[in-house]
């Protein structure tokens, strides 16, 4: 049974130099083309992610325009401190990510491994803080559909617990969906980084071949940037709009 590679095709294989990089995939002409294709691919994928989150942002924009007071009062129920911690954590993780890619570019395995571990650590911290945040929301009955009560605002004046009016439910629905999907992307990101960590530790990346860690870095930065948008839009509204109940 003939082997598929011996069907006589020799496109783009050797223009005379004989051997090629062990990481060069067969359908690419050379390592440059491979890296360019991977990078363009990741950028295209990130564009799709922008569109994905975009739908959520559109819903947010519409309802904020319609119910600014509800938006402000709901935002006041969010934990700004935890949100701020997470923002700092993510920004640091992007820094360590960049350093990891740089380490690959200069061939330092220790650097790659160290910085990747730091990145994963920051990512995990983010998720842990998120867990505590969500737990707090559950306690305070701020999760729509799960015992979230909305009483006529007349009661609101006298209530001891934070009770939300009807349109605040929209805010919380969007809050959970937006931050939840973001958190899911973080989980995927951490999984990616773990794979990168194993590969880096095994010395897979060299100054000539570091594509996977670079495009993973792009993904990580994107997830960070989404949070940079989510944080002020969700957490800082009460302060910004000045309204509150």
Partner 1 sequence: MDLLYLFIFAVSAFFTILVVALIGYFTVKFRRRNPDDVGADIHGSLALELGWTFIPFVLSMVMFGWGASLFFRLATPPANAMEVFVVGKQWMWKVQHPEGVREINELHVPTGRPVRITLGSEDVLHDFSLPAFRVKMDAVPGKLTTMWFEATKVGTYHIFCAEYCGTKHSGMIGQVIVMTPQDYEVWLSGGRSTGTAVENGERLFTDLACVTCHKPDSTGRGPSLLGVYGSTVKLTDGRNVVADENYLRESIMNSQAKVVAGYQGIMPTFQGMVTEENLMQLIAYIKTLKPAAPEAKK
Partner 2 sequence: MATETAPARQSYLDAPYGLAAWLLTKDHKRIAMLYLISITVFFAIGGLFALGIRIELLTPKGDFVAADTYNKLFTMHGVVMIFFFLIPSIPATLGNFLIPIMCGTKDLAFPRINLLSWYLYVIGGTLAIAAVATGGLDTGWTFYTPYSTQASQTSVTMAAMAAFIAGFSSILTGFNFIVTIHRMRAPGLTWFRLPLFVWAQYATSLVMILGTPVIAITLLLVMAERTLHFPIFDPKIGGDPVLFQHLFWFYSHPAVYIMILPGMGVVSELVAAVSRKQIFGYAFVAFSSLAIAILGFLVWGHHLFVSSQSIYAGLVFSIITMLVAVPSAVKTFNWAATMYKGSVTWESPTYWVIGFMGLFLIGGLTGLFLATLGLDIHLTDTYFVVAHFHYIMVGGAIMAFLGGIHFWWPKMTGRMYPESLAKASAILVFSGFNMTFFPQFLLGYMGMPRRYHSYPDEFQVLNIASTFGATILGLGYGLCLVYLLWSLKRGAIAPANPWGAKGLEWEKTQSPPTTFNFEEDVIVTEPAYNYAGSGKVHHG
Q: Which residues bind partner 2 (CB under 8 A)?
A: 1-4, 7-12, 26-29, 33, 36-37, 40-41, 44-45, 47-49, 51-56, 58-59, 62-63, 66-67, 70, 144-146, 150, 166-167, 169-170, 173-174, 176-177, 181
Cα distance between residue 244 and residue 239, in whole Å: 9
Build a one-symbol-per-residue string for 160-189: x at contacts with partner 1 by CB under 8 A, - elsewhere.
-----xxx----------------------
Cβ proximity to partner 1: between 105 and 167 the closer is 167
Nearest Cα to 170, choosing from 228, 92, 234, 115? 234
Cα distance between residue 115 and residue 108, in whole Å: 11
Cα distance between residue 123 and residue 90, in whole Å: 7
Note whether 157 binds partner 1 by CB under 8 A: yes
- Per CB under 8 A, the list member of 5, 154, 158, 202 interacting with partner 1 is 154
Cβ proximity to partner 2: between 42 and 104 the closer is 42
Q: Look at residue 153 and give the partner it binds from partner 2, partner 1, none, a contact being a CB closer than 5 to 8 Å depending on partner kind.
A: partner 1
Strand partners, 209: 206
Strand partners, 206: 209
Cα distance between residue 238 and residue 233, in whole Å: 10
Number of residues that bind partner 1 (CB under 8 A): 13
- For 9, counting Cβ atoms within 10 Å of its Cβ (0-12 exposed, 13-18 middle, 19+ buried), the class is exposed
The CB-of-79 to partner 1 minimum distance in angstroms stands at: 23
């Amino acid at each position: 049974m003939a082997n598929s590679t011996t069907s006589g095709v020799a496109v783009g294989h050797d223009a005379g130099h004989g051997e090629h990089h062990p990481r060069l995939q067969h359908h690419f002409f050379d390592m440059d083309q491979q890296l360019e294709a991977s990078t363009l691919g990741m950028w295209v994928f990130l564009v799709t992610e922008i569109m994905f989150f975009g739908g959520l942002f559109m819903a947010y924009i519409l309802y904020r325009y319609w119910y600014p007071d509800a938006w402000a009062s709901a935002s006041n129920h969010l934990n700004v401190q935890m949100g701020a911690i997470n923002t700092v954590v993510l920004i640091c993780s992007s820094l360590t990510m960049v350093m990891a890619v740089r380490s690959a570019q200069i061939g330092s395995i220790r650097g790659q491994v160290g910085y990747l571990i730091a990145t994963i650590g920051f990512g995990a911290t983010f998720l842990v803080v998120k867990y505590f945040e969500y737990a707090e929301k559950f306690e305070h009955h701020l999760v729509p559909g799960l015992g979230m009560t909305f009483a006529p605002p007349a009661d609101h004046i006298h209530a001891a617990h934070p009770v939300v009016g009807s349109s605040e439910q929209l805010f919380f629905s969007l809050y959970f969906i937006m931050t939840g999907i973001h958190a899911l992307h973080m989980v995927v990101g951490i999984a990616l980084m773990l794979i990168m960590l194993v590969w880096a530790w095994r010395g897979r990346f060299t100054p000539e071949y570091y594509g996977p860690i670079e495009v993973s870095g792009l993904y990580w930065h994107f997830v960070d940037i989404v949070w940079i948008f989510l944080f002020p839009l969700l957490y800082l509204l009460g302060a910004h709009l000045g309204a509150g109940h």
